[in-house]
């Protein structure tokens, strides 16, 4: 399983020969100006919620790639109604795709489209494929619901929001890592806007002091699990 960071909360997951893109927000992210969305591969686009900083580039990428949009019922059908391929899910449910399994888990946040229309409840994902298991928190507060995840799943990686203001800060994300019982963390949802700038060295040291490894990738950089 290969994971590439495309800035903000956008990651690509290459697993079982398929390309999965999560929460594409690239063309309006000045920090990701070196990423060309026309070159991104996508068989599936997974969306945690309807906020603009998670769905901005969905239509452009889905139009070109014919990717299937996987999200909560409200977000998936929003794009389905516009003619895109979609797979609606909802919290607590999982589905076996051709690349592996996706489960939708709780996130404590909000979810609405830019025009104010209802975007369902915000979600996180647990994704399993190639015998690796990862958690994507989505935009969320720290919540006790995270403790449910290790009851079913021994995670290899947790992708956590760490930028504060809209989501967990670094200290809450360290507790979240404890709750999901995973010591390998990829931080997302930081630095994109002034509200969520973080001190990288201090964040890494805090995780290190808690016996955890926080990875902060350059935009476009990949890791292999």
- Is 139 a binder of Ni ion (CB under 5 A)? yes
- Stretch in the footprint of Ni ion (CB under 5 A) among 14-22, 66-74, 133-141, 197-205: 133-141
- Give yes or no for a contact between 222 and 4, defined as CB atoms under 8 angstroms apart: yes
Q: What are phi and psi of 152, to 5 degrees?
A: -115, -25
- Is 191 a binder of Mn ion (CB under 5 A)? no
Closer to Ni ion by Cβ: residue 110 or 211: 110
Q: What are phi and psi of 143, to 5 degrees?
A: -145, 145
For helices 170-179 and 200-209, what crossing angle results, to 10°? Answer: 30
- Stretch in the footprint of Ni ion (CB under 5 A) among 16-24, 44-52, 178-186, 199-207: 44-52
Min. distance of Cβ 18 from Ni ion in angstroms? 26
- Is 23 a binder of Ni ion (CB under 5 A)? no
- Is 51 a binder of Ni ion (CB under 5 A)? yes
Contact residue for Mn ion among 14, 74, 128, 139 (CB under 5 A):
139
Min. distance of Cβ 54 from Ni ion in angstroms? 6
Min. distance of Cβ 166 from Mn ion in angstroms? 5
Q: Which does 169 bind (CB under 5 to 8 A by kind): Mn ion, Ni ion, none?
A: none
- Is 53 a binder of Mn ion (CB under 5 A)? yes
Q: No. of H helices and E strands in the chain?
A: 6, 14
Q: In the stretch 81-100, what mask flags binding to Mn ion with x, by CB under 5 A? A: --------------------
- Number of residues in contact with Mn ion, rule: CB under 5 A? 2
Min. distance of Cβ 131 from Mn ion in angstroms? 30
Burial 40-61 (b: 16+ CB within 10 A, else e): bebbbbbbbbbbebbbbbbbeb
- Number of residues in contact with Ni ion, rule: CB under 5 A? 2
Name the nearest CA neighbour of 91 among 51, 120, 123, 50. Answer: 123
Closer to Ni ion by Cβ: residue 51 or 212: 51
Q: Which helix (H) or strand (E) covers residue 76, if one does?
A: helix 73-80
95: helix, strand or coil: strand
Handedness of CA 60, 106, 90, 128 (dihedral sign): positive
> Strands, DSSP E only, in 47-146?
68-72, 86-89, 94-96, 101-106, 123-129, 132-136
Residues at the contact surface with Mn ion, assessed by CB under 5 A: 53, 139
Question: By the criterion CB under 5 A, which residues form the site for Ni ion?
Answer: 51, 139
């Amino acid at each position: 399983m290969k994971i590439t960071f495309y800035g903000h909360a956008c990651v690509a997951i290459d697993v079982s020969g398929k390309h999965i893109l999560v929460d594409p927000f690239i063309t309006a992210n000045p920090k990701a100006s070196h990423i060309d969305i026309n070159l991104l591969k996508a068989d599936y686009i997974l969306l945690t919620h309807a906020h603009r900083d998670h769905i901005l580039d969905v239509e452009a990428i889905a139009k070109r790639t014919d990717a299937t949009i996987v999200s909560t019922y409200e977000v998936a059908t929003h794009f389905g109604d516009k003619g895109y391929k979609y797979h609606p899910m909802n919290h607590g449910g999982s589905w076996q795709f051709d690349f592996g399994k996706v489960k939708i888990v709780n996130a404590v946040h909000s979810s609405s489209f830019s025009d104010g229309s209802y975007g369902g409840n915000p979600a996180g994902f647990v994704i399993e494929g190639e015998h690796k298991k990862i958690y994507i928190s989505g935009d969320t507060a720290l919540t006790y619901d995270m403790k449910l995840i290790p009851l079913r799943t021994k995670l290899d990686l947790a992708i956590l929001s760490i930028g504060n203001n809209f989501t967990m800060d670094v200290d809450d994300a360290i507790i979240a890592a404890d709750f999901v019982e995973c010591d390998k963390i990829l931080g997302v949802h930081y630095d994109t806007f002034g509200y969520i700038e973080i001190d990288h060295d201090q964040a890494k040291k805090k995780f290190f002091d808690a016996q955890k490894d926080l990875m902060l990738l350059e935009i476009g950089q990949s890791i292999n699990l």
